[in-house]
């Protein structure tokens, strides 16, 4: 349940209305903030998936497949 | 000339990989070996080939072209949402498909549906709809191949020849190598286009004198400043795009790829690294598409910008034909290639052209999937394998590959829409609407075959309705909209330049939600069609 809530929260964070009309600040001098946010979001998603895979891996499917 | 030589050397290499893969087949190889590589792919090949199967012309050419016209919003629309949704689908659905495939010997999703819902001909209906939706996806790759070869040869290889060459090469290595050849070529291609982004960004940055000046210049101009924000796109439209990646797991070639892993653990790295691969491909593609708006010293790009400006200021006064011509000239599908050609030395531009070629040739797994589906879901199901044996089944699959390639090529020659529009409106939306089939089959015991049929017919009807609507009502100029259906003063269905909207959302949202509702309602209305307890027990994970 906790994992589902975290996933739902991350899904909601995709809708970043707070940077909708802003280009500045330019991260590293050239990356508009809206684009940087979504690049950082993508890295964050990878971290979330890493946690999901470690904590909630469906190990039982291995045994299921051999039955 | 150098570019053409490098690209043709690349094409010869992938063809050779397919032939070598054929030599690695087991002696007396059966259908499972040809169509699923004997369920033996290791973790690296599984990750790279599955990712490569998801990346098409759409990801480099379509993404850059869309970013050229629409700005940074392209990354949020498709890349970051896919980075979350696709691996989650692999985690929840892909792993279960793999386990069922190993346990029951399934080779296609339709085999699983037939078993799960104890149905025969309904499975055939699902096959027909899946196949019809997959063909546009293959067409995209042919179009991408034609565009790329025409661009790298400066028009000396016309679109129709380029598309034909790419079709022949893809057909060749799929024909010879089957899934093993396809997975190896996909792995090689993915490595190539993963390295493309960093090199292309470095070369273009150097050629443009750094990106800071380009960004400052874009921000200073009212015509280009909005491209660095998302102000031209509504939040509702942006939200709609999070439904598109649901299509990935419902695409038969991705479902079938899930069956090729040697072990369940191979999914782990794929799930975690998928977003990293997404950022490596999409961030450079989108960024380069955006900064191309300042590359006015590259004549081909300056011509595109001029055509777009004419469209924006004089569209109402133009004839529909003149508008279409200007749209074609303004199209950004080859903008990355033009950018690299403008700033990179010829030999490097040629290498990068080969990398783009790698991306646009990702139709191999779709072609193989359709062949697998035809031989398993139709030929074998209707007793063909029982009567003629597995060698004839594999031969039939190969003949199917040839016929399919010819059809896709002929359609590509006459397909007028840009790569991005075609992909989004037909294949992606349709497969997203089919995703509830997988969810219901794997996780809802009370789902029935009639619910599955309702979802499938609804998807076919909705995709057809959009296609007809867009053929009957011409696209208005950018920024304008034509109301098709209004209720109580609210525009329910509208035609816009990029396609069709339903209450401001892409059609994929109502299509997918209606599919899910239909599955629940129709299954509840047909409780007598519930499969036997023994069948349901096979799906208790």
Rounded to whole angstroms, the Cα distance separating B116 from B93 reads: 15
**Measured CA distances, A31 to A34, A47, B212, B246, B336 (Å):** 8, 22, 9, 29, 18
B219 and A24 in contact by Cβ < 8 A?
yes
* Number of inter-chain CB pairs under 8 A, A vs B: 129
Kindly state whether B201 is in contact with chain A, defined as any CB-CB distance less than 8 angstroms: no
Contacts of B279 in chain A (CB under 8 A): 39, 42-43
> Is B506 part of any domain?
no
Mutation target vs A (from B275, B293, B541; most A CBs, 10 A cutoff): B275
**pLDDT value, residue B476:** 82
Rounded to whole angstroms, the Cα distance separating B38 from B29 reads: 9
Residue of B nearest to A60 (CA): B541
B211 and A34 in contact by Cβ < 8 A?
no
B84 and A67 in contact by Cβ < 8 A?
no
Average pLDDT rounded to a whole number, residues B238-247: 95
**Lowest-pLDDT range of A32-46, B238-252, B286-300:** B286-300
Kindly state whether B43 is in contact with chain A, defined as any CB-CB distance less than 8 angstroms: no
> Is B265 part of any domain?
yes
Mutation target vs A (from B235, B239, B261, B279; most A CBs, 10 A cutoff): B279
> Is B216 part of any domain?
yes
Rounded to whole angstroms, the Cα distance separating B10 from B4 reads: 10
Q: Is the peptide bond before A25 cis (omega within 30 degrees of 0)?
A: yes
Q: Is the C-alpha dihedral spanning A7, A12, A18, A24 positive or negative?
A: positive
Q: The domain that contains B185 carries what CATH number?
A: 1.20.1730.10
Ramachandran area for residue B418 (φ above 0: left; ψ -120 to 50: alpha; else beta)? beta
A27 pairs with which residues across the strands?
A31
**Lowest-pLDDT range of B89-93, B321-325, B536-540:** B321-325
A65 and B271 in contact by Cβ < 8 A?
no
> Is B47 part of any domain?
yes
- Strands B490-496, B499-502: pairing is antiparallel
Kindly state whether A10 is in contact with chain B, defined as any CB-CB distance less than 8 angstroms: yes
> Is B525 part of any domain?
no
B41 pairs with which residues across the strands?
B261
B264 and A38 in contact by Cβ < 8 A?
no
Q: What is the dihedral of CA B282, B80, B230, B486, to 10 degrees?
A: 120
Ramachandran area for residue B426 (φ above 0: left; ψ -120 to 50: alpha; else beta)? alpha
Q: Is the C-alpha dihedral spanning B461, B466, B469, B471 positive or negative?
A: negative
Kindly state whether B219 is in contact with chain A, defined as any CB-CB distance less than 8 angstroms: yes
**pLDDT value, residue B330:** 84
Tokens for A20, please give them. 């909708």
Show which of residues 254-283 on chain B sit within 8 Å of chain A, judged by CB atoms: 263-264, 268, 271-276, 278-279, 283
Residue of B nearest to A47 (CA): B272
Kindly state whether A60 is in contact with chain B, defined as any CB-CB distance less than 8 angstroms: yes
Closest CA to A65 of B439, B442, B443, B264: B264
**Lowest-pLDDT range of B102-106, B480-484, B520-524, B534-538:** B480-484
How many domains does chain B fold into?
A: 1
B239 and A61 in contact by Cβ < 8 A?
no
Average pLDDT rounded to a whole number, residues B233-238: 92
Q: Hey, is B444 helix, strand or coil?
A: coil
Q: What range does the domain containing B349 cover?
A: 2-419
Selection from A31-40, B1-10, B150-159, B161-170 with the highest mean pLDDT: A31-40
Residues B318 and B96: beta-carbon distance below 8 Å: no
> Is B406 part of any domain?
yes
Average pLDDT rounded to a whole number, residues B54-59: 68
pLDDT in tens, B265-277: 999 999 999 999 9
> Is B72 part of any domain?
yes
Rounded to whole angstroms, the Cα distance separating B197 from B201 reads: 6
Grade residue B84 by pLDDT with cuts at 50, 70 and 90: very high
Ramachandran area for residue B491 (φ above 0: left; ψ -120 to 50: alpha; else beta)? beta
- Strands B490-496, B481-487: pairing is antiparallel
Selection from B99-108, B344-353, B462-471 with the highest mean pLDDT: B99-108
Helix (H) / strand (E) containing B273: helix B266-291
Contacts of B102 in chain A (CB under 8 A): 65-66
Cβ neighbors of B383 (< 8 A, separation 6 or more) are: none
**pLDDT value, residue B420:** 47
């Amino acid at each position: 349940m906790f994992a589902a809530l975290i996933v739902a929260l991350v899904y909601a964070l995709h809708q970043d209305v707070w940077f909708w009309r802003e280009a500045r600040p330019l991260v590293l001098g050239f990356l508009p903030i809206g684009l940087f946010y979504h690049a950082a979001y993508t890295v964050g998603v990878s971290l979330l998936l890493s946690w999901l895979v470690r904590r909630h891996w469906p190990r039982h499917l291995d045994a299921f497949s051999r039955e | 000339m150098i570019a053409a030589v490098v690209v043709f050397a690349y094409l010869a290499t992938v063809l050779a990989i397919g032939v070598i893969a054929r030599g690695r087949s087991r002696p007396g190889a059966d259908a499972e070996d040809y169509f699923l590589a004997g369920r033996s792919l290791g973790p690296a090949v599984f990750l790279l080939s599955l990712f490569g199967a998801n990346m098409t012309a759409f990801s480099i050419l379509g993404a850059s072209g869309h970013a050229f016209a629409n700005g940074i919003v392209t990354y949020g629309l498709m890349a970051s949402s896919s980075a979350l949704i696709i691996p989650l689908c692999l985690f929840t659905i892909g792993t279960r498909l793999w386990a069922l495939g190993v346990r029951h010997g399934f080779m296609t999703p339709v085999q699983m549906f037939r078993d799960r819902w104890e149905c025969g001909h309904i499975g055939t209906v699902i096959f027909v709809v899946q196949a019809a939706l997959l063909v546009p996806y293959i067409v995209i790759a042919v179009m991408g191949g034609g565009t790329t070869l025409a661009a790298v040869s400066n028009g000396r290889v016309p679109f129709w020849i380029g598309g034909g060459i790419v079709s022949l090469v893809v057909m060749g290595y799929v024909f010879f190598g089957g899934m093993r050849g396809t997975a190896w070529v996909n792995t090689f291609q993915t490595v190539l286009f993963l390295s493309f982004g960093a090199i292309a960004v470095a070369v273009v940055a150097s050629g443009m004198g750094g990106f800071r000046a380009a960004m400052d210049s874009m921000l200073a101009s009212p015509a280009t400043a909005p491209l660095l924000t998302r102000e031209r796109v509504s939040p509702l439209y942006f939200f709609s795009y999070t439904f598109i990646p649901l299509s990935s797991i419902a695409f038969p070639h991705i479902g079938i790829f899930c069956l090729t892993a040697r072990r369940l653990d191979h999914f782990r790295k794929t799930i975690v690294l998928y977003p990293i691969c997404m950022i490596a491909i999409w961030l450079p593609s989108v960024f380069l598409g955006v900064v191309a708006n300042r590359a006015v010293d590259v004549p081909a790009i300056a011509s595109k910008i001029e055509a777009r400006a004419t469209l924006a200021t004089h569209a109402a006064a133009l004839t529909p034909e003149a508008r279409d011509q200007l749209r074609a000239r303004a199209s950004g599908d080859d903008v990355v290639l033009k950018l690299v050609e403008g700033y990179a030395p010829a030999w490097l531009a040629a290498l990068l052209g080969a990398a783009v070629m790698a991306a646009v040739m990702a139709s191999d797994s779709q072609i193989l999937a359709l062949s697998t589906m035809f031989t398993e879901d139709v030929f074998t199901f209707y007793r063909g394998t029982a009567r003629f044996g597995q060698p004839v089944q594999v031969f039939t699959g190969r003949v199917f590959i040839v016929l399919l390639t010819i059809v896709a090529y002929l359609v590509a020659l006459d397909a007028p829409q840009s790569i991005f529009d075609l992909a989004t409106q037909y294949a992606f939306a349709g497969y997203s609407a089919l995703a509830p089939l997988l969810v219901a089959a794997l996780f809802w015991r009370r789902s029935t075959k009639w619910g599955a049929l309702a979802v499938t017919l609804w998807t076919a009807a909705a995709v057809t309705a959009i296609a007809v609507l867009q053929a009957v009502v011409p696209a208005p100029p950018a920024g304008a909209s034509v109301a098709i259906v209004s209720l109580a003063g609210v525009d329910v269905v509208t035609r816009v330049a990029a396609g069709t909207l339903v209450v401001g959302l892409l059609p994929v949202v109502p299509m997918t939600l209606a599919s899910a509702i239909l599955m629940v309602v129709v299954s509840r209305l047909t409780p007598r069609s519930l499969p036997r307890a023994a069948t349901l027990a096979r799906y208790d994970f």
